[in-house]
């Protein structure tokens, strides 16, 4: 068991290492350096800038330095935001993204899972159809449309709902809806179909035959197994949502790392792009790892260490 955790952690580190390497060399492959501007800078200034940021070292030395930085969580300076490091940007952006993200994740868990359960229990009843129609709409409408519609229909007409920013708790509603819409619907659909499958199992019939109350059958026996596929989806989803959606943060003008990432892309701020990618990937891999470990507690059918492929 412990050996399995070690193995998973090791492979997560290897994956992260590959991602960092890949990103580093991808960014180096771009024609033109980070100081290429519309107005060409004099050669001497470029040489000095290169020297300042150690860009005149051989690529392999740069690579080693960069990897050393990542190992110590130091992603280096930003080329465009003078005086700021990538760490500063992440530190500035993360709280905003996290706040909205936590609200969104809570909404998904609090609404999505019960919606799926109710709809499975009332299969083919009006409430089931209503939930499924809502969930289908949620999956098909892109988040930027949800966000803009929310602004147009609600916050621009109701004066006490702020349009942008996160100045008061009510301001969280819009970004959280836009951010959670897709995942909420997906979780509801997933919970429903997995619940339906579990409810057909023999042990549920046995539980009922033994005279257990319906609440106990659903709550204790069915739910535990029905939630396994949901956990698989929710883990990486939490990572994606907590680190923010590029679009939602842009529309609602939230200072989050998603917004910094998009800005760094359009500014071609290479260190920020690499740093954010690695940071984001690291978080994502970490969440997947957590899910894998959580599995061993939820699902006794999974024998760790003996998993062979898919």
Q: Taking the complex as a whole, how short is the minimal distance between the CB of residue 260 and another protein, in angstroms?
A: 13
Which residues 6+ apart lie within 8 Å of 16 measured at CB?
A: 278, 281, 282, 285
Pick between residue 113 and residue 285 the one whose CB is nearest to another protein: 285
Q: Taking the complex as a whole, how short is the minimal distance between the CB of residue 18 and another protein, in angstroms?
A: 5
Q: Taking the complex as a whole, how short is the minimal distance between the CB of residue 120 and another protein, in angstroms?
A: 17
- Helical segments of 141-269, H only: 143-150, 173-199, 202-209, 214-216, 223-226, 228-242, 246-251, 257-267
CA angle 113, 114, 120 (to 5 degrees): 95
Q: Taking the complex as a whole, how short is the minimal distance between the CB of residue 185 and another protein, in angstroms?
A: 11
Pick between residue 110 and residue 265 the one whose CB is nearest to another protein: 265
Region at 244 (left for phi over 0; alpha for psi -120 to 50; beta for the rest): left
Pick between residue 172 and residue 261 the one whose CB is nearest to another protein: 261
Pick between residue 172 and residue 284 the one whose CB is nearest to another protein: 284
172: enclosing H helix or E strand = none
Q: Are 161 and 170 in contact (CB under 8 A)?
A: yes
Which residues 6+ apart lie within 8 Å of 179 measured at CB?
A: 100, 101, 104, 143, 241, 244, 245, 248
Q: Taking the complex as a whole, how short is the minimal distance between the CB of residue 207 and another protein, in angstroms?
A: 25
Pick between residue 85 and residue 148 the one whose CB is nearest to another protein: 148
DSSP state of 112: I
Q: Taking the complex as a whole, how short is the minimal distance between the CB of residue 142 and another protein, in angstroms?
A: 6
Residue 205 exposure: Cα atoms within 13 Å on the Cβ side = 4
- Give helix 86-107 / helix 228-242 axis angle, nearest 10°: 140
Q: Taking the complex as a whole, how short is the minimal distance between the CB of residue 261 and another protein, in angstroms?
A: 8
Pick between residue 30 and residue 110 the one whose CB is nearest to another protein: 30
Q: At 85, phi and psi to the nearest 5? A: -100, 165
List residues near another protein by CB under 8 A: 11-12, 14-15, 18-19, 23, 26-27, 29-31, 136-137, 139-142, 144-145, 148-149, 151-152, 156, 239-240, 246-247, 250-251, 261-262, 265-266, 268, 273, 277, 280-281, 284-285, 288, 309-310
DSSP 14-31: HHHHHHHHHHHHHHHTSS
Pick between residue 218 and residue 258 the one whose CB is nearest to another protein: 258
């Amino acid at each position: 068991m412990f050996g399995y955790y070690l193995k998973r952690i090791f492979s997560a580190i290897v994956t992260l290492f590959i991602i960092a390497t890949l990103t580093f060399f991808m960014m180096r492959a771009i024609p033109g350096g980070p100081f290429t501007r519309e107005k060409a800078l004099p050669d001497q200034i470029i040489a000095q800038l290169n020297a300042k940021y150690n860009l005149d070292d051989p690529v392999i030395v740069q690579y080693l330095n960069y990897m050393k930085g990542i190992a110590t969580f130091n992603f280096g300076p930003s080329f465009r935001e003078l005086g700021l490091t990538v760490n500063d940007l992440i530190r500035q952006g993360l709280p905003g993204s996290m706040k909205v993200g936590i609200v969104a994740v809570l909404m998904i868990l609090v609404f999505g899972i019960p919606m799926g359960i109710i709809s499975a229990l009332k299969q083919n009843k009006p409430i089931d159809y209503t939930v499924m129609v809502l969930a289908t709409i949620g999956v098909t409408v892109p988040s930027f449309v949800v966000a803009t519609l929310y602004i147009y229909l609600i916050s621009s007409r109701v004066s006490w709902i702020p349009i942008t920013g996160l100045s008061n708790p009510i301001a969280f509603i819009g970004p959280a809806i836009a951010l959670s819409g897709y995942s909420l619907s997906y979780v509801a659909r997933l919970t429903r179909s997995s619940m339906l499958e579990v409810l057909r199992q023999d042990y549920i019939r046995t539980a009922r035959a033994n005279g257990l109350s319906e609440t106990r059958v659903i709550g204790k026996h069915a739910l535990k197994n029905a939630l396994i596929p949901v956990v698989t989806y929710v883990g990486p989803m939490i990572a994606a949502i907590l680190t923010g959606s590029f679009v939602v943060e842009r529309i609602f003008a939230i200072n989050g790392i998603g917004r910094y990432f998009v800005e760094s892309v359009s500014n071609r701020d290479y260190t920020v792009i690499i740093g954010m990618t690695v940071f984001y990937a690291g978080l994502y891999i970490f969440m997947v790892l957590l899910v894998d470990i959580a599995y061993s507690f939820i699902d006794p059918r999974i024998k760790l260490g003996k998993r062979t492929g898919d």
